[in-house]
Chains A and B, each alone.
Chain A
Amino acid sequence: MLRSYLPLLILLGISAAQAVGMVVVSQVLSPTKWTWVKASPYESGIDPLGSTRERFSVKFYVVAILFIVFDVETVFLIPWAVVMREVGVAGFVAAAMFIFILTVGLIYEWRKGALEWD
C-alpha cells in the first residue's frame, strides 16, 4: 500500500532538489554587487520615505480593537450558521442574544465616537 505513494515521493524529491538547485546555482553564478538602491526596501518602485520603525497613531489601536471584537464574533457565528437548521429556534434565540450584546457594544462605540477618525 505504501508502495503506491512512491511516485509521489519521487516527485517531491525531484522538485525539492530542483528548487534548491536553482537557488544555489544562481547564488554561485550570478554577479553580486551591493548598491544602496538594491539594499533599500522595495515599495512598488517609489522611493522609500523615512524609517519603517515609526510610531503609529494610537487611533490605529482603536481600529484594531474594534476589529478584534467583530473578528471573534465570526468564531461563534460560523459554526452556528453551519448547523442553523439542526439547532432550530433555540439556536436562533441564542445567536440573537449574542448579536444583541454585540450591538449594544457597537452603539456604545458609535456614541463614544470611536468610529470617527478625527
Chain B
Amino acid sequence: MTLDFASQADYLLALLPEIVLSLWAMLVLMVDVFQKGNRVEASRPVVAWLSLAGLVVTAAANGWLLTIEEAAVTGMVAVDSFRVFVNFIVLIAAALAILISIGYLDRRGINRGEFYALLLFATVGMMLLGAARDLILLFLALELMSVALYVLVGFDRRDPRSSEGALKYFLLGSFSSGFLLYGIALVFGSARSTNLSAIVPLLPSLQESPMFLIGAGLLLVGLAFKVAVMPFHVWTPDAYDGAPTPVTALMATGVKAAAFAAFIRVFAVGFAGIYNEWSVVLSWLALLTMFGANLIALTQGSVKRMLAYSSIAHAGYLLVAVLAANAYGAAAFLFYLLVYTLMTAGAFGIVIANSRGANELNKLDDYAGFGWREPLLGAVFSIFLLSLAGFPLTGGFIGKLYILRSSLEAGNVELAVSLVLASVISYFYYLRVVVVMYMRPAPAEEANRTVLLTGPGQLAMSVSAVAVLALFFVPGWVLDVAQRSVASLFTVPGTFFGLGP
C-alpha cells in the first residue's frame, strides 16, 4: 500500500502503532481505576500483563508498517524502516522496564496502575520522536515523552530522593524544551517551514543566514540535553539515581534511543547540508562526553550512579556514530542501540535484584559475594558489564567495532581513537564491580537479603544476556536488517562491513 497523505485519513494509517498504544494506555488506565475497590489500594497484577500485551499488539502494528510505503518523503510522519527499527528498540525497552517492575512496585508500595499507563504514554512519545519529520511533531513527541517521565521519576513520592530527582529533571528538562522550541521558531522563520524535507533544498541559501544557524544551534542544545551529552548532563545522575529503577532503565534505554533517532533525522539527514557547521560542535561534545563521563564514573561509589554515568558515556559513543553521518554510521548506530538497550536495561534490572527488604543496595561493597550468592544473576550481570565495557565475546564489542568502522569510513580518525581510549578507561570501573562480586567475601550479616526481581524479571534478564552474547556470535542478520533500515535515509554504497548489499 502506498500513502500519499492527500487525505487526512492517511495519517491514521501512518500512525497506527502509536494510535494503538495510546488507546491501550487509556484502556490500562480505565481497567485500573475500575477494578479497584478504593483509591489507595494496590493495582492487580493483571494491569502489568495487560500493558505488556499492549506492547505486543503495538509491535505487530509496527511490523505491519513495513508493508506500507510513502509516495514521497515529505509527510510530517516518516513511514520508513528506520522508524520501524527504532520503534522495535523502544518497545523492547518498555517491555523490559515493565518486566523488571513486576514485584518491585509492590515491595516499594507504589504499585499503582498509573505507572503502567504513564510508561505506555512515554513509549508513544518515544515512538513519535523516531518518526517525526516535522520539527513541531518532534517537539510534541518530546514533550509527551518528557511530561510522562517527569511524573514517573517522582512516582515514589514518599521517597525524598525520588521527588528531588523529579524536580531537577523537570526544571532542566523544561528548560531545554524552551531552547528547543525557540530554535524551532528561528528555523521556522528563516526556512518558512518546519518540515525537514522542505528545509533540505533551502540549505545552500540558508547556510549564511545567522537566524537559521542560531536556530539550528538551539535545536542542538535542546536535543543534547535530552540525550544527556556533557556538559548538558547535570540532571542525568540525579534523575537516574532518584527515579524508581525500572524508570531509570527506561530513561537510559528507550529515551536515549528515541532522542538519538531524532538527532539522526534532524542533523545527519535533514541538516546534512550544513554538516561542517554542526559537526565541529558535536565532535567536541562527543570528546568531552566520552572522557568526562568515564572519568567521573570511576569515582562513583554507588553502582546505580556509576551506571548512570556509563549511560552518559555511551551517549558519547552513539554521537560518534551520528557524526559519521553516513549509511555505515546509521546502521552501526541502530545495531549498537539494540545491544545497548539490552545490556543497560539488564544491568539496571540486576540493581533491583540486589536488595535488603524493600531497599536496593547500591554501594559497591554491597555487591561483595553477590556472584556466589546468586549464581545466575551474578553471571548475567557480568555479561552485561563486560558488554558495556566492550569486551570480545559480547555484543557490545561488535557494536563498538561497527561504530569505529563507520567513523573511520567518514574520516573522523580522532574520534575513533578517542572512542578506543575512553573505552579503556571504562574497563576499570566495569571490571571493578565484577571483581567485587566474585573475589571479595560476602559480609557476615546476610539477614533480610532479598531478590526484588521476580520470576518474569529474572527470565527477561537471562534472555537479554543470551541475546547480548548472540549478537557477538551471529551479528549478521541484525546488521543486515539495520543496513536495510537506513536505506531510506542515506544512499547506500555497495556493501557494508564486508556483507552483501
Q: Do A and B bind each other?
A: yes
Interface residues on A, range: under 10
A108 at the interface (CB under 8 A from B): yes
Is the CB–CB distance between A90 and B30 below 8 Å? no
Is the CB–CB distance between B29 and A108 below 8 Å? yes
A90–B11 alpha-carbon span in the complex (Å): 12
Nearest opposing residue in chain A for B19, CB measure? A97
Nearest opposing residue in chain A for B38, CB measure? A113
- With A111-B33, A111-B34, A112-B33 already in contact, the answer to whether A101 and B39 are too (CB < 8 A) is no
Is the CB–CB distance between A104 and B39 below 8 Å? no
Is the CB–CB distance between A107 and B39 below 8 Å? no
B9 cross-chain contacts in A, Cβ below 8 A? 90
Question: Quick one: CB contact mask for A98-118 with B, threshold 8 Å, 1 for yes?
Answer: 000100100110011100000
Contact residue among A90, A101, A107, A112 (Cβ-Cβ distance under 8 Å from B8): A90
B34 cross-chain contacts in A, Cβ below 8 A? 111
A107 cross-chain contacts in B, Cβ below 8 A? 30, 33
B147 at the interface (CB under 8 A from A): no
Question: Quick one: CB contact mask for B15-35 with A, threshold 8 Å, 1 for yes?
Answer: 000000010001001100110
A108–B26 alpha-carbon span in the complex (Å): 9
Interface residues on B, range: under 10
A26 to chain B, nearest CB (A): 46
Is the CB–CB distance between A113 and B29 below 8 Å? no
A113 cross-chain contacts in B, Cβ below 8 A? 39
B111 to chain A, nearest CB (A): 16
Is the CB–CB distance between A101 and B33 below 8 Å? no
A104 cross-chain contacts in B, Cβ below 8 A? 26, 29-30
B32-54 CB contacts (< 8 Å) to partner A: 33-34, 39
A29 to chain B, nearest CB (A): 52
A61-118 CB contacts (< 8 Å) to partner B: 90, 94, 101, 104, 107-108, 111-113
B33 cross-chain contacts in A, Cβ below 8 A? 107-108, 111-112
A101 cross-chain contacts in B, Cβ below 8 A? 22, 26
Per DSSP, chain B at the interface is helix
Q: Which of B22, B26, B30, B34 has the most CB of A within 10 A?
A: B26
A96 to chain B, nearest CB (A): 13
B26 cross-chain contacts in A, Cβ below 8 A? 101, 104
B29 cross-chain contacts in A, Cβ below 8 A? 104, 108
Is the CB–CB distance between B30 and A112 below 8 Å? no
A60 to chain B, nearest CB (A): 19
A104–B114 alpha-carbon span in the complex (Å): 13
B174 to chain A, nearest CB (A): 16
A108 cross-chain contacts in B, Cβ below 8 A? 29-30, 33
B39 cross-chain contacts in A, Cβ below 8 A? 111-113
Q: Which of A90, A101, A107, A108 has the most CB of B within 10 A?
A: A108
A107–B33 alpha-carbon span in the complex (Å): 9
Nearest opposing residue in chain B for A104, CB measure? B26
A16 to chain B, nearest CB (A): 37
Nearest opposing residue in chain A for B26, CB measure? A104
A18 to chain B, nearest CB (A): 44
B197 to chain A, nearest CB (A): 23
A58–B8 alpha-carbon span in the complex (Å): 43
A94–B39 alpha-carbon span in the complex (Å): 33
Q: Which of B9, B29, B34 has the most CB of A within 10 A?
A: B29
A94–B33 alpha-carbon span in the complex (Å): 27
A112–B32 alpha-carbon span in the complex (Å): 10
B319 to chain A, nearest CB (A): 36
B438-460 CB contacts (< 8 Å) to partner A: none
A113–B29 alpha-carbon span in the complex (Å): 14
B114 to chain A, nearest CB (A): 9
Nearest opposing residue in chain B for A112, CB measure? B39
B22 cross-chain contacts in A, Cβ below 8 A? 101
A113–B39 alpha-carbon span in the complex (Å): 8
A90–B22 alpha-carbon span in the complex (Å): 20
Question: Quick one: CB contact mask for B45-71 with A, threshold 8 Å, 1 for yes?
Answer: 000000000000000000000000000
Nearest opposing residue in chain B for A94, CB measure? B8
A104–B27 alpha-carbon span in the complex (Å): 9
A114 to chain B, nearest CB (A): 9
A108–B22 alpha-carbon span in the complex (Å): 15
B31 to chain A, nearest CB (A): 11
A52–B4 alpha-carbon span in the complex (Å): 61
A77–B34 alpha-carbon span in the complex (Å): 29
A62 to chain B, nearest CB (A): 13
A111–B30 alpha-carbon span in the complex (Å): 9
B272 to chain A, nearest CB (A): 34
A107–B34 alpha-carbon span in the complex (Å): 10
A58 to chain B, nearest CB (A): 12
Question: Quick one: CB contact mask for B333-373 with A, threshold 8 Å, 1 for yes?
Answer: 00000000000000000000000000000000000000000
A49 to chain B, nearest CB (A): 33
A111–B29 alpha-carbon span in the complex (Å): 11
Nearest opposing residue in chain A for B9, CB measure? A90
Supply 6 A–B pairs (Cβ within 8 Å), ascending by A. A101-B26, A104-B29, A108-B30, A108-B33, A112-B33, A112-B39
Give the 4 A-B residue pairs with the shortest CB-CB distance, closest first.
Answer: A111-B33, A104-B26, A90-B8, A113-B39
**Can you add 16 more A-B contacts, CB < 8 Å, to A90-B8, A107-B30, A111-B33?**
A90-B9, A94-B8, A101-B22, A101-B26, A104-B26, A104-B29, A104-B30, A107-B33, A108-B29, A108-B30, A108-B33, A111-B34, A111-B39, A112-B33, A112-B39, A113-B39
Residues of B within 8 A of A (CB): 8-9, 22, 26, 29-30, 33-34, 39
Residues of A within 8 A of B (CB): 90, 94, 101, 104, 107-108, 111-113
